[in-house]
């Protein structure tokens, strides 16, 4: 009897310990996932299970600085995945629309996953986000990039960090010679491809369907999606794509070659790398110089680079390049030639998007239109303003973002691929007295329905309603390949005859023929396809 009572007491004690441990955070079946590198414990909040800070490649530090992403070292036991890993080391941009929220480090190759808690049954569609930041800023930690609302709509949402600045895009002669079988230069793009391969290998463990992946991004992230659509090394890793303010014409691509001399005598990426090495006192371009560069403290590699200083750093930072393996030609030439993934796309830009005016006077602004200069003046300056910047910015934005989006949509549609174009014109109610249109990146909190994080107590019911609709269009597209759905205005696909777009206006989404057609046609007349000649040079580089 005593032994029996003791057993009962021990049983109660063990039960109490287990219950207490569960309340203290002991892993349960509902918050565990097993990847090819080990087991993870996530966190559940408001019906969403998230896993953060998941390593998808080895830390790119020391001898792995400027190398292709290497495999993760597997871990033993259960790894906590409840906090973001560090974003790539950088100098944050003061007016960034998506301010970083965590630590910064060269050790930054971490992914995050959100999914509906307790989901069982068929695999869910997957959406993979690529952040913007001009390839020198950005990360996954900003609150406006929270994937919870996608998960609430039945999507497995993934974000990941990639190397930016000189960590992500750097050419140097010794690098080209060090591992000749590897790609070189575009290390940020290599990270993106590695993350998509990680999704293919592991997303089923989180309830996602690796055969139903939509990749999407904004600004540099949108440009990255265009690169992934057209790169030989990323084909088959996704089935749909969304490009937000990502360009599409050669104007957005510097067209530098990794080695030799870039077009029009501009320096190659390797020459710019040599310039940077010289700026820190390293003159050897061989193995010894490379070793010295890898020994530099990480902050010396950043050297103050961000979106505000990019132009001043043009002689020591090159950005993405034509490397001959990942990037063999510009997206423009690849699209025109049909050398791309040919998957359904959404593409668009904002009504007051980014651009860089060219011209110090009105005459200089309109001179490139040639015989159409008077038409252009009537279209772009109907009020006869003498403010060169106010007139020039809309032209520049149309050249850099708006017309290229139409070009990509039309080109895809002409090849029989579903293409849906949008223009985001919605302005938060609290900002309408200051803004006539939607600036660059302002669509992001609406697409993510994170407008509360963006606008706080200034958020209105109309703002929230527009966010719910934008999110629904993006989710519908990920699920079916068509953004339209119940309770939403019909979004017709693009073609050159109808020129249909979905415009997100202050009154809500409106599907209509493009009201900017005249201006867009004028800007299109300025465009010249120069990429193929550059591509021929790049294709010869397989080093």
pLDDT digits (tens), the chain, 543 positions: 333 333 333 333 333 333 333 333 333 458 999 999 999 999 999 999 999 999 999 999 999 999 999 999 999 999 999 999 999 999 998 888 899 988 999 999 999 999 999 988 899 999 999 999 999 999 999 999 999 999 999 999 999 999 999 999 999 999 999 999 999 999 999 999 999 999 999 999 999 999 999 999 999 999 999 999 999 999 999 999 999 999 999 865 556 889 877 777 789 999 999 999 999 999 999 999 999 999 999 999 999 999 999 999 999 999 999 999 999 999 999 999 999 999 999 999 999 999 998 899 999 999 999 999 999 999 999 999 999 999 999 999 999 999 999 999 999 999 999 999 999 999 999 999 999 999 999 999 999 999 999 999 999 999 999 999 999 999 999 999 999 999 999 999 998 788 999 999 999 999 999 999 999 999 999 875 333 333 343 333 333
CB proximity list for 307: less than 8 A, separation 6 or greater: 93, 96, 133, 134, 136, 137
Name the phi and psi angles at 86, rounded to 5: -60, 145
CB proximity list for 312: less than 8 A, separation 6 or greater: none
Q: Tell whether 59 is covered by a domain.
A: yes
DSSP 357: -
Name the phi and psi angles at 339, rounded to 5: -95, 75
Q: Tell whether 77 is covered by a domain.
A: yes
Q: Tell whether 522 is covered by a domain.
A: yes
Q: Tell whether 227 is covered by a domain.
A: yes
Task: Exactly one of 7, 364, 465, 542 is catalytic; name it.
Answer: 364
Q: Quick one: pLDDT at residue 172?
A: 97
CB proximity list for 4: less than 8 A, separation 6 or greater: none
DSSP 258: S
CB proximity list for 356: less than 8 A, separation 6 or greater: 396, 400
| 141 in active site | no
Query: What is the Rg, in whole angstroms, of the alpha carbon atoms belonging to the chain?
Result: 25
Q: Which domain holds residue 50?
A: 36-256+322-543
| 219 in active site | yes
Q: Tell whether 369 is covered by a domain.
A: yes
Coil/strand/helix, residue 242: strand
Q: Quick one: pLDDT at residue 169?
A: 97
Rounded distance between C-alpha atoms, residue 244 and residue 68, angstroms: 27
Q: Tell whether 2 is covered by a domain.
A: no
| Distances in whole angstroms, Cα of residue 189 to Cα of each of 177, 184, 214, 408, 421 | 20, 10, 17, 21, 25
Place of tokens 């520049």: 396
Q: Quick one: pLDDT at residue 358?
A: 86
Rounded distance between C-alpha atoms, residue 386 and residue 365, angstroms: 12
Task: Exactly one of 148, 159, 219, 259 is catalytic; name it.
Answer: 219
Quick one: which of 52, 40, 58 has its CA closest to 109? 58
Which DSSP string corresponds to 108-124?
A: --EEEEEEETT--SSPE
Q: Tell whether 92 is covered by a domain.
A: yes
Q: Quick one: pLDDT at residue 253?
A: 53
Reported residue count of the chain is 543
The residues pairing with 347 across neighbouring beta strands, listed in sequence order, are 243, 421
Q: Tell whether 372 is covered by a domain.
A: yes
Contacts 24+ apart (CB under 8 A), 99-105: 99/142, 100/139, 100/141, 100/142, 101/141, 101/142, 101/143, 102/139, 102/141, 104/139, 105/298
> What is the CATH classification number for the domain harbouring 248?
3.40.50.1820
Rounded distance between C-alpha atoms, residue 234 and residue 232, angstroms: 6
Number of domains in the chain: 1
- Other C-beta atoms within 10 Å of 73: how many? 10
Q: Quick one: pLDDT at residue 404?
A: 97
Task: Exactly one of 152, 440, 484, 503 is catalytic; name it.
Answer: 440
| 384 in active site | no
| Distances in whole angstroms, Cα of residue 526 to Cα of each of 369, 519, 523, 530 | 7, 11, 5, 12
- Other C-beta atoms within 10 Å of 274: how many? 20
Place of tokens 């993870």: 40
How many CA atoms within 13 Å lie on the side-chain side of 403?
Answer: 24
């Amino acid at each position: 009897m005593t032994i029996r009572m003791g057993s009962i007491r021990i049983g109660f004690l063990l039960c109490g310990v287990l219950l207490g441990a569960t309340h203290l955070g002991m892993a349960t079946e509902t918050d565990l996932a097993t990847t090819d590198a080990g087991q993870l414990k996530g966190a559940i909040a408001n019906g969403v299970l998230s896993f953060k800070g998941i390593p998808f490649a080895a830390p790119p530090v020391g001898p792995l600085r400027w190398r292709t992403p290497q495999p993760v070292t597997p871990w033993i036991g259960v790894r906590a995945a409840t906090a973001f890993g560090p974003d790539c080391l950088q100098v944050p941009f003061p007016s960034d629309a998506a301010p970083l929220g965590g630590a910064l480090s060269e050790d930054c190759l971490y992914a995050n996953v959100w999914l509906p808690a307790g989901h069982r049954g068929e695999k869910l569609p997957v959406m993979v986000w690529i952040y913007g930041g001009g390839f020198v800023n950005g990360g996954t930690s900003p609150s406006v990039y929270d994937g919870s609302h996608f998960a609430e709509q039945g999507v497995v949402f993934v974000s990941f960090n990639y190397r930016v600045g000189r960590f992500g895009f750097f050419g140097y002669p010794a690098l080209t010679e060090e591992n000749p079988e590897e790609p070189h230069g575009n290390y940020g793009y290599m990270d993106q491809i590695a993350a998509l391969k990680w999704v293919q290998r592991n997303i089923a463990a989180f309830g996602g369907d690796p055969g139903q992946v939509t990749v999407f991004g904004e600004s540099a992230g949108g440009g990255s999606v265009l690169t992934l659509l057209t790169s030989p090394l990323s084909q088959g890793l996704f089935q749909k794509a969304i490009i937000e303010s990502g360009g599409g014409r050669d104007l957005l691509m510097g067209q530098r070659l990794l080695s030799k001399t870039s077009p029009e005598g501009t320096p190659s990426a390797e020459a710019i790398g040599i310039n940077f090495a010289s700026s820190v006192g390293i003159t050897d371009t061989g193995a010894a110089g490379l070793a010295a560069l890898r020994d530099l403290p990480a902050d010396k590699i950043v050297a103050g680079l961000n979106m505000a200083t990019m132009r001043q750093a043009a002689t020591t930072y090159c950005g993405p390049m034509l490397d001959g393996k990942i990037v063999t030609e510009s997206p423009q030439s690849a699209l025109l030639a049909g050398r791309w993934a040919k998957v359904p796309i959404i593409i668009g830009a904002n009504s007051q998007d980014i651009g860089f005016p060219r011209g110090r006077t009105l005459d200089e602004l309109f001179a490139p239109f040639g015989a159409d200069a008077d038409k252009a003046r009537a279209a772009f300056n109907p009020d006869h303003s003498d403010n060169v910047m106010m007139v020039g910015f809309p032209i520049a934005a149309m050249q850099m973002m708006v017309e290229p989006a139409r070009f990509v949509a039309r080109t895809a549609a002409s090849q029989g691929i579903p293409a849906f174009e949008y223009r985001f014109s919605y302005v938060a109610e609290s900002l309408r007295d200051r803004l006539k249109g939607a600036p660059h990146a302002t669509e992001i909190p609406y697409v993510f329905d994170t407008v509360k994080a963006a606008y706080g107590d200034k958020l209105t019911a109309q703002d929230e309603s527009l966010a719910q609709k934008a999110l629904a269009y993006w989710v519908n597209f990920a699920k079916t390949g068509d953004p339209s759905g119940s309770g939403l205005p019909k979004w017709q696909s693009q073609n050159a005859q109808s020129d249909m777009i979905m415009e997100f206006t202050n009154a809500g989404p409106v599907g209509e023929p493009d009201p900017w057609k005249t201006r867009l046609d004028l800007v299109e007349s300025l465009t010249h396809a120069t990429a193929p000649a550059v591509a021929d040079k790049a294709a010869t580089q397989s080093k």
